[in-house]
Structures are given as C-alpha cells and as structure tokens.
Chain A
Amino acid sequence: MADTAETLLETPLASLHRDLGGKMVPFAGYAMPVQYPAGIMAEHLATRAGAALFDVSHMGQAELLGEGAAAALERLTPADLRILKPGRQKYGLLLNAAGGIVDDFMVANLGGGRLFLVVNASRKAVDLPLIESVLPAGVTLRPLPERALLAFQGPQAVALLAPLAPAVATLPFMGVAETQIAGIPVLISRSGYTGEDGVEISVPAEQAAALAKLLLALPGVVPAGLGARDSLRLEAGLCLYGNDIDETTSPVEAALVWTIGKRRRMDWDFPGAERIRAELDHGPARLRVGILPEGRQPARAHTPVHAVGGAALGGAAMGEITSGTFGPSLNGPCAMGYVAREHAADGTALELLVRGKALPARVAATPFVPHRYAR
C-alpha cells in the first residue's frame, strides 16, 4: 500500500531513530527502524540479557467507552471480556463471520466502563470501522492517534523502571496501571512480544521522545528495531498477524483456542461459532505448529512443508512455513507454520523444500525459548 518514501507515516520518535542511526524500512505504511548500528543479533541478545527499548507507536490504540463496552466488543471476539477485571489486560482475536481472524489485539479494563485497545498497525483501518459498526447507543470508540507506544522489554526492564514509576514493581503479568514516569503521564501494561518480562507504555506523542531518551539513558538499555522484535517473538512462539494468522485461519487451526472464553464456548455467541465448534468437535484439517529445521539453515515464510519422502516425489505440499528465522538465543533456525493435522504431533519428522532441496525438520513445542514473564 504505502511503500514509497513520500507517503510513509512517521512515529513521534522518527528523529530519535535517525539520531540513533536506525535503518529505516517501510512497515505497515510507516517508516520504522528495522535495526540500529549494533545489529539484529546484538539487539536480540541484549533484550534477553538486560533491557531494550522498541518503538511500537505504529500500532493502533483506542478506547472503548461506556458501560456496555465489554458486551459490545464480545460481538466480534470469542474472548470473555465480562470477566476482565479493572487493572487487567488480555489477548484476544477479532473474528469474521466465517471464523477467520480479522486481527489479534490486546484489551485492558481501565475501570469505569473504559476499555483500552491495542491493534496491529496493518489492521487498524479494518478493525476500528468494524468495531464502530457493532456499537450500541451509549458505547463510543475513541481512536488515540495522538498517543505513542513504547515497549521496554527484558529481565532488567522492570527493575530499571521501578525507581521512576513505583507502581510498576507490583504490577502482575498482564496488569495495567495509569501512572507517571518522571512526571510524564503513562498507561503501563506488564506485557510484551518478546517472551521476556517487561512493559508496554502508552504515552502522549509530544512526550514520547523525552520518555524514550529517559529510558535509553538507564544503565545497559539499548534501542532495538523490528528485526529483533521479530526474532524475539518467533523464539517465544508468538504469532505475527499477516504471516501466521489471517482472515482464512481460524482460532482452532491457529492453536489459539485458549483465547476463547469458557462461557463463550457454552453460548457459541460469537462470529464463526459454527465453524469453530465443528473444528473443535472433529479436528481442523490443518494446525499451526512450531518447526525446528535441522542444522543451521533457516526456512523462511512460504517454504513448502512435506511429509518425509514427500519433497522428492514432487507432489503437493501438505503445509507451509508462515514465519521462519535464525533464532539468536536458540543459536539455530526456528519457524512456525501450518501442517496437516496428522503431521502435527510434537516430534513428527518433516521435509522443508528450500531452494529445491529437502531440508529435514521436526514439529516442536513452542515457545522455543522459555517465557520468563513476571508471576
């Protein structure tokens, strides 16, 4: 869509990225740093060892206001939002009528009938009108384009941040708090996309650069770009919308059944419930699984997946890699993708057709690198 330099949007941290030597690339219509001079490998490892700061201001932020907000949003998602307590956040999926995934999102209950939403940059133009279309009188959607979003991730992130924002130290995993960091008003959630402990911080755009500089000045903190964000999330087994999930994949196929609330699975009152119920009863034709190639060669997105011996026969692939990289912490390649259900058990041998050669691989449990979230 917007892939030329003239039409790319910038985040409030654009000039800071340039000052830091960020290599800017187009992503979802924005000019974003894919890496800084240290490189993806160093940024990835620094996130797992200490703390790194990511600009994720391209993501869509919005508030849903009104006492009926949770019930209204449940018309589009199978998540149980009525049991989401004030001060808590959860991950969910927006579904279409066919049970396909329109987007994945985070939703936090800020209390007083306020829900705070974070959706994907590439999907906000789809999501927000969709949400708007199901709202009853008394519930309003307020997009927050005037807010930036920073991810501060790694085992040292919370310890480094706590002296500046005491409320953070006691925040549980998936807890949210409206507080201040050095006088800057922020909305902090203890969550992220790296598999590590850390926070995501929503901040007014005009104060985002000051906050980012403050965090980068803390001992050992490095800036990290989209490249490290991608390798970190893939090692953590987390989906990327557009790669691993899209409007054709269902929550059952995507192995995201855990996002469907228990009450919702009794009432079957969400879009695509018929397909999802049938897939739960009979098993889906394909399943998203973790895949570990043997050796050091990565298998990238769209690599065909065959049963053992299948690649040489030249027949149709029974699956496809949807994300694949070299995992810096794993010190080896890792991937995820869809395979026919009968090949989805952990340990099943596979063949990946990479540049015309069969690369041996196995189905493997995710995360590839254990999550280290706060308890």
Chain B
Amino acid sequence: MSQLKFTKDHEWVRLEGGVATVGITDHAQTALGDVVFVDLPEAGRVVEPGDACAVVESVKAASDVYAPLAGTILESNEALSADPALVNSAPTGEGWFFKMTPADLSAIDALMDEAAYLAFVDSQS
C-alpha cells in the first residue's frame, strides 16, 4: 500500500497506479464527531486544488472537503451513503470519499508526509 500524503485541510491522499484516493484524516473525523451524512462529487467533475467538492455532516455541523490536487473525479464511495459512520470507524480505509485522476502526478509531492502532518496538527492545537 502506498504512503499517505496530507493537506492542511485535513484530507489524506493515496496514489496508486495513477489514481488518487482521497478521504479525511483520523484527526478530522475525531474533531467532527459522529458523521451522519456525506455529500460526494459526481464522476467527471474537473477540480482545482482547494475546490470544495464534498461535504461531511456531523450532528452538530457541516464541513467542506477540498480537492487536494487538480484533476478529474473518477468515482465516489457509494458505501458512505448507506453507512456514513465508516468515516469515523475507518477514515483512511473504507471511509474514503472519492477517487480522482490527477492532472499532474508530481503535484502530490508538494503535500505533507505523515510526520509533517502530525507536526502541523500539533502546531494548531
């Protein structure tokens, strides 16, 4: 399994065979609390880095999820419609949000590795 990369908006990205899988981090799901609904992007949508392209809702509030890279949405995780709590129980596994084809594969190198992300989270608290 390839290494996860992270954004300052608390998304993770896993690049495998030219496809990037995106979700929200364990830190993000803990902060949000019980996830009750996820609004996911449609396949074919072209996104720029930082575009709000999904929404995650807890009992208390709605939060945007941003595209970590430029590219095209390939598919969304339909399992989250039936069981949004997967975001809490398996944030970096079955709780993924969408897969995308990055316009530039090398752009992922600019994202944080796990150590840098954890240091970033610490600096925010």
Chain A interface residues toward B at CB < 8 A? 34-35, 39-41, 44, 227, 230-231, 296-298, 300, 325-326, 328, 333, 355
Contacts and interface: CB of A to CB of B under 8 A. Distances in A.
B36 interface: yes
Given A40-B59, A326-B58, 11 more contacts: A34-B60, A39-B34, A40-B58, A40-B60, A41-B34, A41-B59, A227-B33, A300-B61, A325-B59, A328-B59, A355-B55
Scoring B36, B39, B57, B58 by chain A CB atoms within 10 A of each residue's CB, the highest score goes to: B36
Contacts of A227: 33, 59-60
B59 A44 contact: yes
Contacts of B58: 40, 326
B7 to A, nearest CB: 21
A294 B109 CA distance: 42
Contacts, number: 42
A326 B55 contact: no
27 contacts: A34-B60, A35-B33, A39-B33, A40-B33, A40-B58, A40-B59, A41-B34, A41-B59, A227-B60, A230-B60, A231-B59, A296-B37, A297-B37, A297-B39, A297-B57, A298-B36, A298-B57, A298-B62, A300-B61, A300-B62, A325-B60, A326-B37, A326-B57, A326-B58, A328-B34, A333-B37, A355-B39
A65 B85 CA distance: 53
B110 to A, nearest CB: 29
Instruction: List 4 A-B pairs, minimum CB-CB distance, nearest first.
Output: A41-B34, A326-B36, A40-B59, A296-B37
A296 B84 CA distance: 10
Contacts of B36: 296, 298, 326
A192 B17 CA distance: 57
Nearest to A332: B36
Contacts of A326: 36-37, 57-59
B105 to A, nearest CB: 30
Contacts of B33: 35, 39-41, 227
Contacts of B59: 40-41, 44, 227, 231, 325-326, 328
A44 B58 CA distance: 13
A274 B57 CA distance: 43
Contacts of A355: 39, 55
A40 B61 CA distance: 11
A97 B92 CA distance: 57
B107 to A, nearest CB: 27
A298 B37 contact: yes
A325 B61 CA distance: 8
Nearest to B34: A41
Contacts of B55: 355
A325 B60 CA distance: 7
Contacts of B60: 34, 40, 227, 230, 325
